[in-house]
Amino acid sequence: MPTAPFAIGNVAVLPRTAVNLRPRGGVFCHPLRRSTSRPLLCSITSELSQREEDREVPPQELSPVAGGIVALGKFEALHIGHRELAIQAAKVGPPFLLSFVGMAEVLGWEPRAPIVAKCDRRRVLSSWAPYCNNMIPAEFQVEFSSVRHLTPRQFVEKLAKELGVRGVVAGENYRFGYRAAGDALELVRLCEEYGLGAYIIGSVMDKKQYAINMNSSNSKERGQVSSTRVRRALAVGDMRYVSELLGRKHRLILMAKDQDRFTSNKSRVSAPKSCLLNLAPKEGLYEKCSLYIGEDNLVPCKVVIDTKHVHIEMDEMRSFIHILK
């Protein structure tokens, strides 16, 4: 049987068997405008030197990010702060998001559901194209175990010589290298030394919670938009706040390999939480949602999340059943 995903979020471009849910009305109806308030705090550029020309890699060995501009970060939630990094990268060249995979396993962290389902990340990045000179930022992942013990210098050297990037973009609070020894200023210095462009941008601040966190004792918590804030907002079911942080509606995807795992009655479809592919908001009722089936079919609905299931309640159940067949 074909897999059958459900989603709460924006309109999805998925196979015919896909079903997508999104909040409707109010704040959810208007996409966030591009922010123009992010200052470029530091920027260095350099022409290709003879040394760079000498280290060119044969075409067949070029990395996928060779010649590109890589934004550095974790990129878990793909929130508006991450989008600003991509926007800056796109101003200079082909934009890439460089992040590390396998951190949880190496550092012994407890596994947790992703904020954005893996199968949905491409759609989110595609929605950034209008902000990024009509380019879709591409993701490039590096195994954390392969860079964990690199010094800041070794890390920048890897970017320049092994990956062949042309420049980097990072936030003002970015730290890198073994035990996070390097900061944004050192990144700029090392990039200049290795002939790379470096662009440091100011943090995108959380306007709603900024004042509350001004006196936070957490050195990393300075009022900026973060994936942690998105998780906290989902944990309390504040979907308006989640949308403000993400710059889009949150999208919840459920997938079952066997459609029998979805049950239905007169006006409700239910799926066990084991079908979830990403992080759901807290238990409760979420009204003014929309169920998308494939690319073109929209059914207004409500979503109820309890301890074991996600329930989708519709007035147009017959149409829904007909479309799925």
Residue 28 confidence (pLDDT) above 70 = no
- In this predicted structure, what is the pLDDT of residue 307? 96
d(CA 69, CA 99) in angstroms, rounded, equals: 13
Least confident of 2-11, 54-63, 105-114: 2-11
> What is the third-level CATH fold of 40-201?
Rossmann fold (3.40.50)
- What's the mean pLDDT when you consider all of the chain? 81
- In this predicted structure, what is the pLDDT of residue 107? 81
Residue 142 confidence (pLDDT) above 60 = yes
Residue 26 confidence (pLDDT) above 50 = no
CA 88 to chain centroid, in Å, comes to 16
- In this predicted structure, what is the pLDDT of residue 306? 97
- In this predicted structure, what is the pLDDT of residue 71? 98
- In this predicted structure, what is the pLDDT of residue 3? 44
pTM for this prediction:
0.80
DSSP collapsed to 3 states, 136-203: CCEEEEEEHHHHCCCCHHHHHHHHHHHCCCCEEEEECCCCECHHHCECHHHHHHHHHHCCCEEEEECC
Task: Tell the residue number behind the tokens 């702060």, with chain if given.
Answer: 81
d(CA 94, CA 319) in angstroms, rounded, equals: 43
Q: Residue 91 carries which side chain, given as an amino acid letter? A: K
- Confidence band, pLDDT 50/70/90 cuts, at residue 319: low
Q: Average pLDDT for residues 121-144, to the nearest whole number? A: 96
- In this predicted structure, what is the pLDDT of residue 299? 83
Cα dist. 71→85, 206, 252 in Å?
6, 20, 26
Greater confidence, 57 or 282? 282
Domain boundaries, the chain: 4-31+250-324, 40-201, 211-246
Q: pLDDT per residue over 91-126, tens digit each?
A: 999 999 999 987 878 888 888 999 999 999 999 999
Q: pLDDT per residue over 180-215, tens digit each?
A: 999 999 999 999 999 999 999 999 999 887 545 544
Residue 53 confidence (pLDDT) above 80 = no
- In this predicted structure, what is the pLDDT of residue 324? 53
d(CA 222, CA 206) in angstroms, rounded, equals: 9
Residue 54 confidence (pLDDT) above 50 = no
- Strongest mean pLDDT among 4-18, 28-42, 70-84, 310-324: 70-84
d(CA 211, CA 206) in angstroms, rounded, equals: 9
Sign for the CA dihedral angle at 131, 137, 142, 144 comes to positive
Q: pLDDT per residue over 242-263, tens digit each?
A: 999 999 999 999 888 775 578 8
Q: Are 96 and 138 a contacting pair, CB within 8 Å?
A: yes
Specify which residues 305 forms β-bridges with: 284, 310
Burial pattern 54-85, b for ≥16 Cβ within 10 A else e, equals: eeeeeeeeeeebbebbbbbbebbbbbbbbbbb
Q: Are 160 and 187 a contacting pair, CB within 8 Å?
A: no
Greater confidence, 161 or 40? 161
d(CA 117, CA 103) in angstroms, rounded, equals: 18
- In this predicted structure, what is the pLDDT of residue 12? 32
Residue 298 confidence (pLDDT) above 50 = yes
- In this predicted structure, what is the pLDDT of residue 221? 66
Residue 22 confidence (pLDDT) above 60 = no
Residue 52 confidence (pLDDT) above 90 = no
Least confident of 35-39, 177-181, 236-240, 291-295: 35-39
